[in-house]
């Protein structure tokens, strides 16, 4: 089957599918919200925030006592402790005499010559330890975890900004194509009126048949351009719907409408301008750099805290039975513990030197990247002003060539020009209007790229 027939069948299928279907309008704001709801990066960013909050809560639990239950039970093959009479009474004459005497009478009594015990036992209890001083590591660790929450939130806002920027660009590209479609429709009306004039002139013998055929050729070229543009609009709509995660059917693509921006009401660069330093100071990237510096400072504090003494108090209470003749009893103990990590002092001193170097690097990065953000914002504004100048130039050219076309029509009606001159004026006007639509679309994109960073 020929490609032309396939394209015709596809067009007929889409046209048949949308016949009688209600129109569905999606504004730019609706596209933004849909993209924010369906974008995978946004969902993962929200999970990162949830994880950071959970991490902060985990650190906070270190402020509370550490409670644990313990249990121990054993049974040996033989007694763990064996004692003779002399071991009990002492290694002296009296002890040895009593040991000798006991050795003689023990067999008669059916007893062992030595005392053996601790064959089995058990210990069950609860232990509570409250940190009193941990080198402020718990306090600093809590603030360090708070920085993680702030960083996750900033990353989430950055991803939202990127998603909105991408949606806006795709939406404005579609708007530019729709403006071109309106332009071609207006040019089609001009050609139709011009064709009527040419038919009348041909019937009166004013122009040749070749002039009329040339006009028909231009009309066929316009129809072909409209068909290609319609296909481009359909593909652009599909691309936009795919990018925002919107489910649709290909046969329904023509039922979706996306109202574009009004080209004549766009703000000028001067109306949206904000000092680059103010914009850069409010960017998420700048806040992330500030958080990086704060994080490096807290890492140093945590290292210093690990070198300080650690103090804790505790309580243990439970049941203990350590021999078969001991009935066991409940008992408790209050204790205090101090740990001084002397061996870590040298290691942590070198670690602090490394962290100090990392802190200075973070400060340098903050200054360097801060200047780069300012430069980037200035470039965006220069691109905006350049796109505005291009659009104004294209608009002036469109008005100029429209004036020339109107003048050519008047001259043609008066018999001063030919159809060829009119077609040339028409071609210049069509090219100027197409350039204006393209430059307006470029300005919309530049405007969105600049304003999306403004607070």
- Between residues 325 and 379, the one the model is more confident about: 379
The number of domains in the chain is 2
Q: pTM for the complete prediction?
A: 0.75
Alpha carbon of residue 213 to chain centroid: 58
**Per-residue pLDDT tens for 342-377?**
988 989 999 999 999 999 999 999 999 989 999 999
| Residue 209 CB contacts under 8 Å (≥ 6 apart), including other chains | 202
pLDDT in tens, 424-449: 888 888 889 889 888 888 898 898 88
pLDDT mean across residues, the chain: 84
- Per-residue pLDDT tens over the stretch 214-264: 778 888 888 898 899 899 999 999 999 999 999 888 888 888 888 865 666
Q: Which 8-state DSSP code applies to residue 281?
A: H
- Same domain for 261 and 131? yes
Q: Which residues, 6+ apart, have CB-to-CB distance to 93 below 8 Å?
A: none
Which of these, 377, 306, 310, 369, lies nearest to 338 by C-alpha position? 310
- Under a CB-based contact definition with an 8 Å cutoff, are residues 290 and 151 in contact? no
**Which range marks the domain in which residue 93 is found?**
84-117
Q: Which helix (H) or strand (E) holds 244?
A: none
* 306: phi then psi, degrees, rounded to nearest 5: -70, -15
Phi and psi torsions of 208, nearest 5°: -90, 165
**How many CB atoms neighbour CB 119 within 10 A?**
15
Q: Are residues 112 and 32 both part of a single domain? A: no
With cut-offs at 50, 70 and 90, classify the pLDDT of residue 42. very high
CB crowding 160-177: b at 16 or more within 10 Å, else e: beebbbebbbbbbbbbbb
Q: Say how far apart CA 258 and CA 238 lie, in whole Å.
A: 12
The predicted pLDDT at position 13 comes to: 45
Cα–Cα distance, 276 to 376 (Å, whole number)? 9
Asked, for residue 95, whether it belongs to a domain, the answer is: yes
Residues 104 and 129 placed together within one structural domain of the fold: no
How much is the pLDDT for 147? 94
Q: Can you give the CATH number for the domain in which 362 is found?
A: 1.20.1600.10
The pLDDT of residue 18 is 45
What gap in Å lies between CA 348 and CA 137, rounded to an integer?
Answer: 14
Q: Do 89 and 185 belong to one domain?
A: no
Last residue of a domain, one of 95, 117, 139: 117
Residue 90: CB partners within 8 Å, gap ≥ 6? none
Q: Phi and psi for 117 in degrees, rounded to 5? A: -155, 180
Q: Which of 189, 177, 175 is nearest to 222 (CA)?
A: 189
CB 175 within 8 Å of CB 261: yes
Q: Please indicate, yes or no, if residue 2 is contained in any of the structural domains.
A: no
- The SS3 call for residue 81 is strand
Write out the two tokens for 276. Answer: 């680059």
Question: Same domain for 331 and 345?
Answer: yes
Pair 2, 235: CB distance under 8 Å: no
Q: Are residues 218 and 334 in the same domain?
A: yes
In whole angstroms, give the CA distance from residue 407 to residue 430.
15
Instruction: Tell me the pLDDT tens digit for each residue of 177-205.
Output: 888 888 888 888 877 877 777 777 667 66
Same domain, residue pair 210 and 248 = yes
DSSP assignment of 118-165 equals -SEEEEEEEEEEEEEESTTHHHHHHHHHHHHHHHHHHHHHHHHHHHHH
Chosen domain end from 99, 117, 135: 117
**Is residue 307 situated within a structural domain?**
yes
152 and 90 in a common domain: no
In a shared domain, residues 344 and 204: yes
Report which of 74, 153, 83, 162 is spatially closest to residue 116, judged by C-alpha positions: 83
Position 10 in a domain = no
Q: Is residue 12 one of the residues assigned to a domain?
A: no
The mean pLDDT value for 277-281 works out to 88
- Do 215 and 95 fall into the same domain? no
Same domain, 129 and 235: yes
Residues 106 and 203 in one domain: no
Residue 90: pLDDT over 60: yes
Look at residue 423 in the predicted model and tell me its pLDDT.
76
């Amino acid at each position: 089957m020929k490609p032309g027939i396939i394209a015709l069948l596809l067009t007929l299928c889409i046209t048949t599918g949308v016949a009688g279907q209600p129109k569905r309008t999606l504004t730019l704001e609706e596209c933004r919200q849909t993209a924010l709801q369906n974008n995978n990066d946004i969902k993962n960013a929200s999970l990162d925030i949830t994880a950071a909050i959970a991490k902060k809560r985990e650190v906070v639990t270190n402020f509370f006592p550490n409670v644990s239950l313990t249990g121990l039970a054993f049974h040996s093959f033989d007694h763990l402790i064996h004692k003779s009479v002399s071991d009990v009474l002492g290694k002296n004459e009296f002890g040895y005499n009593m040991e000798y005497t006991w050795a003689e009478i023990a067999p008669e009594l059916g007893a062992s010559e030595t005392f053996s015990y601790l064959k089995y036992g058990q210990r069950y209890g609860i232990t509570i330890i409250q940190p009193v001083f941990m080198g402020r590591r718990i306090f600093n660790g809590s603030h360090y975890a708070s920085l993680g929450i702030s960083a996750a939130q900033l990353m989430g806002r950055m991803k939202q900004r990127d998603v909105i920027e991408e949606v806006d660009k795709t939406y404005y590209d579609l708007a530019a194509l729709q403006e071109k479609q309106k332009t071609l429709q207006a040019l089609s009306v001009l050609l139709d009126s011009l064709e009527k004039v040419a038919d009348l002139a041909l019937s009166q013998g004013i122009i040749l048949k070749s002039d009329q055929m040339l006009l028909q050729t231009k009309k066929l070229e316009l129809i072909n351009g409209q068909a290609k543009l319609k296909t481009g609009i359909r593909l652009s709509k599909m691309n936009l719907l795919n990018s925002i995660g919107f489910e649709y059917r290909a046969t329904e693509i023509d039922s979706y409408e996306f109202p574009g921006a009004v080209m004549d009401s766009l703000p000028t660069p001067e109306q949206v301008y904000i000092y680059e330093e103010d914009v850069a100071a409010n960017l998420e990237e700048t806040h992330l750099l500030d958080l990086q510096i704060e994080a490096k400072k807290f890492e140093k504090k945590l290292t210093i805290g690990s070198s300080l003494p650690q103090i804790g108090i505790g309580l243990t209470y439970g049941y203990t039975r350590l021999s078969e003749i001991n009935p066991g009893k409940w008992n408790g103990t209050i204790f205090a513990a101090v740990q001084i990590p002397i061996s870590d002092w040298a290691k942590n001193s070198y670690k602090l030197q490394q962290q100090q170097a990392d802190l200075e690097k973070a400060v340098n990065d903050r200054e360097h990247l801060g200047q780069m953000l300012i430069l980037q914002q200035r470039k965006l504004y220069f691109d905006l002003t350049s796109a505005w100048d291009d659009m104004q130039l294209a608009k002036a050219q469109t008005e100029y060539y429209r004036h020339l076309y109107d003048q050519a029509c008047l001259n043609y009606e008066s018999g001063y020009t030919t159809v060829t001159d009119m077609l040339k004026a028409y071609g210049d006007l069509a090219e100027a209007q197409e350039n204006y639509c393209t430059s307006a679309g470029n300005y919309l994109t530049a405007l969105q790229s600049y304003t999306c960073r403004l607070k």
